[in-house]
Amino acid sequence: MVVFKDGRPFKSAYRKYNINVNKVDDFESMREVVFRRYKRQLTEKNTLPDLVLIDGGKGQLSAALESLKELKLDLPIVALAKRLEELFLPEQKDSLRIAKNSPALNVLKQLRDEAHRFAITFQRQKRTKGIAKSKFEDIPGVGKENRRENI
């Protein structure tokens, strides 16, 4: 999850989420992350965003809206689907097409692309951490020194 403030990345507010769904389910993952994010925002009495941008289409937008409704939050929310750069709005059947050279679309695309970059980096870090793990780490009583000697 990334945050922009005044149209620029606000990196200290970025957050990584380990998603706790049983299977690969994009909609359930979106539901969980949006719920966890805004539940915490409410609990800590933090300021809420001017706009929530969801990466995806109608399905992802609907999942995010379910979480916001469960939290009784009414935030401005839109979804941006990558393939045709379509913008989806709540309770609108058809997507909006914004001119490719629109400054507004460029800001939304920058936000979405930054979220992709951040998420992909996190996934690579998690994968690399798993690969670099020693098979000796799971054996009780084997500490760092013994692992170092046996590698």
Q: Which residue has the tokens 């909609």?
A: 27
**Separation CA 138–CA 133 (nearest Å):** 10
Count the domains in the chain.
1
pLDDT in tens, the chain (151 residues): 899 998 899 999 999 988 887 778 889 999 999 999 999 999 999 999 999 999 999 999 999 999 999 999 999 999 998 878 899 999 898 999 888 899 989 999 999 899 989 988 888 887 776 665 666 666 776 666 765 665 5
Cα angle, residue 87 at apex, residues 83 and 90 outer, rounded to 5°: 130
Amino acid at 67: S
Boundaries of domain holding 14: 4-150
CATH of the domain at 92: 3.30.420.340
Amino acid at 102: S
pTM: 0.78
